[in-house]
Amino acid sequence: MTPQDRNEDTLPVETEPVHLDPAPTADPAPDIDTLLRKAETEAAELKDAWLRARAESDNTRRQAQADVARATKFAIEKFAGDLLAVKDALEQALATENASAESLKTGAELTLKNLQSAFSRANVQEVDPAGQKFDPHRHQAVQMVPSDAPANTVVTVYQKGYVLNDRVLRPAMVAVSQGPAGASK
């Protein structure tokens, strides 16, 4: 007798029966090929959407640049059209033979009205600073003169200035008061 036989004879061993499932369970990990195809499809859709968005953005940018170029090129169109009436009036005045001084003066006044009207429509405003405090942003002092006016006051305007929508087109050329002759600085 072998030692195993003796063990079986002397000690009864009880074992639980092993139950095997007749149907094996499905693999809990999903099918890799299916997941890969799904990810590739989603990536292709996202790339397509991104390319379309990029193309639309580029088209919008190009259109905006073209709009800005057109606006810059034709920004003065309305103002130039308003000035044509002024030019026509001046040409008519010069074409008139034997015009009297009075008719030339009347024509010049009407032409000036047309010009002022064109300036008004274009928001070009005249700067006539006589009697105002000197502003170096809007005035160009060409002379300091003794005056009874307070110091740094515009006493003489040699040339009017002009502004376009609060931006100086041309500063007014002025003489500025030094203050009363006996005043100290």
Domains parsed from the chain with CATH numbers = 124-180 (2.30.22.10)
- Whether 89 and 110 have beta carbons less than 8 Å apart is answered as yes
* Per-residue model confidence as pLDDT tens digits over 95-149: 888 888 888 888 889 999 999 999 999 999 999 999 999 999 999 999 999 999 9
Do 178 and 161 contact (CB within 8 A), yes or no?
Answer: no
Q: What is the pLDDT of residues 66-110, one digit of tens each?
A: 999 988 888 888 888 889 989 988 888 888 888 888 888 888 899
SS3 content of the chain, % helix, strand, coil (to 5): 50, 20, 30
Write the CA distances from 168 to 65, 138, 147, 161, 163, integer angstroms.
27, 6, 27, 8, 4
Q: Residue 35, by phi and psi: left (phi above 0), alpha (psi -120 to 50) or beta? A: alpha
> Of the candidates 164, 151, 94, which has an alpha carbon nearest to the alpha carbon of residue 124?
164
On whether the CB atoms of residues 143 and 152 are closer than 8 A, the answer is no
Percent of the chain residues topping a pLDDT of 70 = 81
Q: Which two tokens stand for residue 121?
A: 């429509």
CA distances to 28, 78, 135 from 124, in Å: 80, 13, 19
For residue 14 the two structure tokens come to 């009880």
Three-state DSSP class for residue 72: helix
pLDDT of residue 57: 96
- pLDDT tens digits, residue range 28-38? 556 898 999 99
The structure tokens listed for 112 are 């000036």
- The residue type found at 28 is P
Model pTM score: 0.58
Q: Cβ atoms within 10 A of the Cβ of 108, count?
A: 13
The secondary element (H helix, E strand) that includes residue 40 is helix 32-74
